[in-house]
Structure 1
């Protein structure tokens, strides 16, 4: 059953608002109003423009619905999925653009009662090749994280994404050249959590594309986050849900770590695209330092994770590479698969198909601290029948050494888990 009534209501509204282009109809563009305003309704959602002053309001959204099943290699483990069908995301996304210099973006997730506010920022682009952003945004760290969840190769990001913080409130500056980007910022806690309670972080990311042309791209990146915390801040934890949000719990989990003084993360990125083929990999290393206890200094906890993945578009063009965002820190990322007009199902085509494979791992064991480790192999198939529609099927085989911080049957010995996840993805 669907998790929340709010998400179910958003489902009905979303299906009603799917742009007519997805159903094979022509784009609707209203007549010019008394002030020169014009309403457009297409695959990008609703767009209202005013010529004087130059103002554009776009109302977009996304709806991701997951269904799946999972099985464990040994008996006696807790139930895998409390619900076999759930709304993963139900986002409302208005964006206001004022002239060439100002962008105001907002995203609200009706299906997330804990962190409903995603992007909520004001960006200024008045300096050459530079964007200044204030508000709630993604911290500049990890190519996989900075890619839109509409465009990732699989239904969920890799196990290594456990090291990446959610969106945070802060100030960031980004700059780019012809084939390079750099972004840095200072961040507190998430806006949904009241900004405070997680210390202050400094984050930076730099990328370069030694090969950058229409058919071939080589991407290299390096990023880091240093977060300093006080004893009064909230507890700190790291965990992952095995690349499927339907799981009732995490298999590897540090639990709440009190008195974390510093958290440092370093990540290295690699990506290569040649025509319809995309190869991508990342490695992330994290170190957690805690305040000195009654018995003396506590050991530094070192964790690591990473992934290697490949995607191939079977009957279409490869994914495009975007150097700069509208605002925020999402520089140098790969976009989604394009569905040409003649290949749309509504035009008599078969859509576009993409296959993908990934190996990912995470290790949360350090110096007698056993929070678990996991290795996953994932196979994926995506079908894009229309520009606003994607259907995903993933098979995941995971090998888990569970966390010893768990107190039930899950923590007794290693096990494997096989998972099938499907997703209906609508976005505009």
Structure 2
């Protein structure tokens, strides 16, 4: 249903929930091969629900809201046991403070809110009885390869698929703990000034535990990008999301190109931090530094080179450190 007053478009089914610039923007257009530690730990992603989204007449503001089932994985399969919880609401609003020079200069600000009453789990983890509402929060060091053999849960009790080959382990991880509900607040910003872009988000999660204690977690990331060949990071005004990079001179020629060029070259850096310690929960503090070079052969193909340094502070436990080199090629249509 579309073109309704205030509500705009009503949407039902399994879809990306309206929270965070990283969530609503397509993975095909991200600066790095992986989204940040905030996405891995906190953000809702694809869930079965019903909601609406709309934008202002001048396309300078957007708003969206959804109610969805919390007790499911990314494929829509149920994870719930009994009738404990299994529901959530989420909302997001964005505002462009300015949008100039045909979209090559703009400032985007946004905020989101997520309330989750998790489902009952099947007794995984210490002191988590069968069917009791529980959740866990954790993240890999911003480079994901393969899957893990041990079934874990993510934000809102999302299950991670498993395989016979172990993948990148979660560095910071609270493990499952009993929880009644939690509130998640997100702030986001994106400034683009020609070839320069600065993107940042911060999340604060407040959980009410079954034992009456609070559990508070927080994190942020900031990304810097610069196109050496003059491109800029485009923006979708009706959804408040990042769009596909338009390469000025393609390395892979199309029928419309008179001659080939160097493609688009971008250098980028990201600083990420997440704190998953709270009272007797020792999930760790993870600080990631990512350096990247992106080569856009044309607007539909790119190669990404990354170096990630991950430092995990586990307090009284042994610290962990990782140096990761990654290359990713992408062609989409």
Q: TM-score range by the shorter chain?
A: 0.7 to 0.9
Give the Cα separation in 2 of the matches to 1:261 and 1:235: 8
1:127 and 2:21 are equivalent in the alignment: no
Alignment of 1:216-231 (within 5 A): 216-229=105-118, 231=120
Partner of 1:362: 274
Consecutive unaligned residues of structure 1, counting only runs of 5 or more, are 1-123, 292-296, 325-330, 405-411
Cα distance per residue 1:293-348 (max 9 Å; x no partner): xxxx3311100001111111111321111022xxxxxx2011131124x4333342
> Taking structure 1 as reference, are residues 314 and 287 closer, same or farther at Cα in structure 2, changes over 3 Å only?
same
> Is 1:192 matched with 2:75?
yes
Number of residue pairs aligned between Structure 1 and Structure 2: 285
Q: Which residue of 1 aligns with 2:251?
A: 344
Q: How high is the TM-score relative to the length of structure 2?
A: 0.80
> What residue number does 2:176 align with?
256
Give the match for residue 31 of structure 2.
153
Matched, 1:323 2:237: yes
Q: Give the whole-Å Cα distance in 2 for the aligned partners of 1:233 and 1:276.
A: 50
Q: Is the 8 A contact 1:254 1:403 kept in 2?
A: no
Q: Which residue is 2:328 aligned to?
A: 423
Aligned to 1:136: 14
What is residue 242 of structure 1 aligned with on the other side? 141
Q: Distance in 2 between matches of 1:343 and 1:367?
A: 54
Task: Report the equivalent of 1:180.
Answer: 61
Any idea what the Cα deviations from partners look like across 1:263-304, whole Å, max 9, x if unmatched?
A: 21000111111111111111100112122xxxxx33111000
| Aligned equivalent of 1:165, options 44, 50, 63 | 44
Q: Which aligned segments of 4 or more residues in structure 1 are displaced greater than 4 angstroms?
A: none
1:37 counterpart residue number: none
**CA distance 1:400–1:236, shift in 2 (3 Å):** same
CA distance in 2, matches of 1:194, 1:233: 19
Tell me, yes or no, if the aligned pair for 2:143 and 2:168 is still in contact at 8 Å: no
Root mean square deviation, CA, Å:
2.0
Residue 345 of structure 1 aligns to a residue whose secondary structure is coil
2:91 maps to 204
The answer to whether structure 1 residue 385 and structure 2 residue 297 are counterparts is yes
Residue 375 of structure 1, aligned match among 260, 277, 287: 287
Give me the whole-angstrom Cα distance separating, in 2, the residues matched to 1:174 and 1:242. 33
Give CA-to-partner distance per residue, 1:152-196, whole Å, 9 cap, x none: 111111112211123111011111112100000101044634356
Match of 2:203 in 1: 284
Larger Rg: 1
Task: Give the unaligned 5+ runs of structure 2.
Answer: 121-130, 146-166, 254-258
TM (normalized to structure 1)? Answer: 0.63
